[in-house]
Amino acid sequence: MSAKSDIDFLKIPKHIAVIMDGNGRWARKQGEQRIAGHHSGVSSVKEVAEACAELGVQYLTLYAFSTENWNRPRAEVEALMDLLVDSLRKEMKTFHDNNIRVQAIGNLSALPAHCIRELHKTMEETAGNTGLRLVLALSYSAKWEITTAVQQIAREVEQGTLAPEAISEAVIEQHLATAGFPDPELMIRTSGEHRISNFLLWQLAYAEFYFTEVLWPDFRKEHLYEALVDFQQRERRFGKTSEQLEQ
């Protein structure tokens, strides 16, 4: 029986974040080059996005390419950029069929020009969709995001438009790349690694973490259902005691 039958649809998280890890190891197991794992991982993105749209998840943020990934071999980086463009073009029907709006966070100006054009085109063409927001974290790192936010706040203080004592958590959040998004309630990482790798450091402060040994290219809807069932069995206290939550 599918784990989907155990999901409480009244307790679906608004925002799920995913570190899609294991493409390279999957490729090695198949005797293929690393890029073959990235290509296979696109099917997992499609499955998970469709499942989230069906379940009523509002935001799905995928760690697609980190600022550290620029240090990978040039051939792999170029292949990943081409794969991004190709995937956005091929999946436009999927986005519209599932009422998915595509958005992106990160230092997008660092992307190649053809990637920027295709990304903007996809975001514009899906802007009218009102269901799941599929947020691609591209050329993204949390340290870059927080540093950029601090620089913006410092400029406002210098200009006299923001008093230092007025800087609050809310003000900081307004300067983050995710301004206006709810914080993720569930963060999933595949491939058995147990770290968050510079991903949404501020936003994951109270998220539940779910780690699975499944490599990303093998991750399917059923694995997402299992993660949701596990998430719904946890008690989220946000610093309070269990007794306080029962009052």
Whether residue 241 is predicted with pLDDT greater than 80 in this model: the reply is: no
Q: Please pick, among 6, 8, 21, 86, the residue that the annotation labels catalytic.
A: 21
21 noted as active-site residue: yes
Residue appearing with tokens 């660092």: 110
Q: Which pLDDT value is given to residue 240?
A: 55
Whether residue 243 is predicted with pLDDT greater than 60 in this model: the reply is: no
69 noted as active-site residue: yes
pLDDT band at 1 (very low <50, low <70, confident <90, very high): confident
What is the rounded average pLDDT of the residues 44-65? 98
pLDDT, tens digit (0-9, with 9 covering 90-100), for 140-196: 999 999 999 999 999 999 999 999 999 999 999 999 999 999 999 999 999 999 999
Whether residue 231 is predicted with pLDDT greater than 90 in this model: the reply is: yes
Q: Please pick, among 8, 69, 99, 183, the residue that the annotation labels catalytic.
A: 69
Q: For residue 38, which amino acid is it?
A: H
Q: Which residues pair with 60 in a beta bridge?
A: 16, 134
Percent of the chain residues past pLDDT 90, beyond the cut = 94
Count of other CB atoms within 10 angstroms of residue 134: 27
SS3 22: coil
Distance, in Å, from the CA atom of 19 to the CA atom of 151, rounded to the nearest integer, reads: 27
C-alpha distances in angstroms, 218 versus 8, 22, 203, 210, 227? 25, 9, 27, 16, 14
pLDDT band at 100 (very low <50, low <70, confident <90, very high): very high
Domains and CATH numbers, the chain: 12-141+183-234 (3.40.1180.10)
Whether residue 108 is predicted with pLDDT greater than 70 in this model: the reply is: yes
Whether residue 222 is predicted with pLDDT greater than 80 in this model: the reply is: yes
Structure tokens of 192? 């058995």
pLDDT, tens digit (0-9, with 9 covering 90-100), for 70-86: 999 999 999 999 999 99
